[in-house]
Amino acid sequence: MPMTGMEPTKLERLHRSYGRDAALDEAFIVLTVGASLIATLGLLANSAAVVIGAMVVAPWILPLRAGSFAVLLGSVSLLVRSLITLAAGVLLTTALSAALGWLVGLPQFGSEVAARTSPNLLDLGIALVAGGLATYAKLRSDAVSSLAGTAIAVALVPPVCVMGLLLSQGALAAASGAGLLFCTNLLGILTGGLVLMACKDPYFREQLTRSHLSAASFVLTGLLVVPLGSGFISLLRAKHQESTREMVGQTIQRFLENETITFGDVDGVPESEAVDLESVRIDWTQTPPEIRALVRVSDPRFPTYTQVREVQKQINKRHRGTFQLVVERTAVEVVGPMPPLPQDTHRQNESAENGQNQNKPPLQDVDSEQANKEPIQQTGITPAGREAAAEIGEDSLQTSQRRPGEGGSAAKRETVLEE
C-alpha cells in the first residue's frame, strides 16, 4: 500500500543484504580471479562463448547494485565499501590480463577485443536496462533467475580484461576505449538501479529527490552521452557506408551478368564471361566519393570507357548520389586443354618422313640445282623436316667423299642445309 516511509524491519533487511553484496570476501576474490582468467583466455582465443561464460561467473554486479542502494539512501559507508570491492576487482583483473597478454605475446588480437574498444549510446542503454533488472531481482526473490542473464547482457569483467591486454602491448588509445566501455556499464547499472528503486517504492522515490549522490550519479551518466554519442554517430555512418558499398557492388554485378544497356557482346563473346567483379570499395574521403571496382578480364577490350561512364550514371540514378566510378582491370589468361607435346609431333612427322623416304629411290648423284630445291622444301615447315633434310645432307656429303669430282656440289648442299 502507498506510504511515505518504509517499514524499519524491511529497510534493515535491505541494509544487511546489500552489505553482504558489498563485502570484499574470499568468494568475491576467487570468482573474480576465475572470471578474469576465463575472460582473458577467451579473448585471446577470440571465442565469444568463453567470454560469455566469464560474464556469468563474475560477481561484480553484486557490489554495484549495493552501490545503487547506498547512493539512493545517502549511505556513504556502504558506498565506500562497494567502491573498494569494485576497485579491488578492477585492479586484480587488469593485472592478470596484462600479465597473460605479455606472456602469450600475440602480435594482434581478434574481433572480440576490437568489439570492446568503441562503445556508443547503445551500450549505455543496455547497461541502464540491465541495472534496473539486477535491482529488481534483488527486491523480488522470485525474479532472481534473471540475474545470470543480466550479467551476460552487460559485461563488466571483459572490458577490463581488454584494457589489460591492450596495455600489455602499449595500445593506450584502444585501452582507453575499453575503459570507457567499463565506465559506461558501471554508471549505467548504477543509474538503472536508482530509477528502478524509485519506480518500485514511494519511499525510494522520495529519497531520490533528496539525495545529492543520486544527482551526481545522473550528472556523471549524462556526461557520458558526449563521447558515446560520437561513437554512435560513427557507427551509423559506418553502417550506412557499408550498406551503400554492398548495394553499389550488387548494381555493378547486375550489369555484368544481366543488363544489356551498356554491357553487350563483342565478337560473340558475352561480357559476363569476359569480366568478373572481384571487389568494390568506396573512398568516402574524396569529393565526390570514388568507387573503385576491381575486375578480372580475359578480354582487354572490356570494359570500355563508354561502358564505365554509363554504369556510373546508372549507379548515381539508382542510389541517388554522386559517385565517380573507377575500374581497375586485372588481366586473366584462360588456359584450356593441353595441346600435344612437341616431341610427340616430332615423332609423328619423323615417321611420316621415313615412310616417304622408303618409297623414294636411294640418293644418287644430283646436280647443284636439285640440291638447292630439295632442302628448301624440307626446312620450310617443321623441325622434323629440317632433321630429315640434315640426314639427306649427310648422305650427300658421303657421296661427295666417295666421288671427289663432285665435291663442289656436295659443299653447296651442306651450306643450303645449314641455312
At 9-34, the pLDDT tens digits run: 777 888 888 888 888 889 999 999 99
pLDDT score recorded for residue 340: 56
Find how far residue 131's CA is from the centre of its chain. Answer: 33
Q: How far is CA 88 from CA 35, 84, 180, 387, 391, in A?
A: 14, 6, 18, 92, 98
Percentage helix, strand, coil for the chain under 3-state DSSP, each rounded to 5: 70, 5, 20
Rounded Cα distance between 116 and 381, Å, is 73
Buried b / exposed e over 72-93, threshold 16 CB at 10 Å, is bbebeebbebbbebbeebbebb
Asked if residues 71 and 211 have their Cβ atoms less than 8 Å apart, the reply is: yes
| Lowest-pLDDT choice from 160-164, 243-247, 294-298, 331-335 | 331-335
Q: Output phi, psi for 266, to 5 deg.
A: -125, 115
| Lowest-pLDDT choice from 47-61, 321-335, 390-404 | 390-404
pLDDT of 149 above 60: yes
Cβ neighbours, 10 Å, residue 1: 3
Give 414's pLDDT tier (boundaries 50, 70, 90). Answer: very low
Please name the amino acid found at residue 301.
R
pLDDT of 314 above 60: yes
pLDDT score recorded for residue 262: 47
pLDDT score recorded for residue 38: 93
**Which is more confidently placed, 405 or 103?**
103
Looking at the DSSP bridge assignments, the partners of residue 294 are 279, 328
Over residues 241-292, the pLDDT tens digits come to: 888 888 888 888 777 666 544 444 445 555 545 677 888 888 888 888 888 8
- Which three cell numbers, joined as nine digits, stand for 130? 540491465
Q: What is the pTM of this model?
A: 0.67
| Lowest-pLDDT choice from 119-128, 247-256, 334-343, 396-405 | 396-405
Cβ neighbours, 10 Å, residue 50: 17
Looking at the DSSP bridge assignments, the partners of residue 324 are 290
Give 45's pLDDT tier (boundaries 50, 70, 90). Answer: very high
Rounded Cα distance between 124 and 227, Å, is 11
Q: What is the mean pLDDT of residues 290-307?
A: 80
| Burial classification of residue 120, based on how many CB atoms lie within 10 Å of its CB (0-12 exposed, 13-18 middle, 19 or more buried) | buried
pLDDT of 298 above 80: no
- Which three cell numbers, joined as nine digits, stand for 337? 586443354
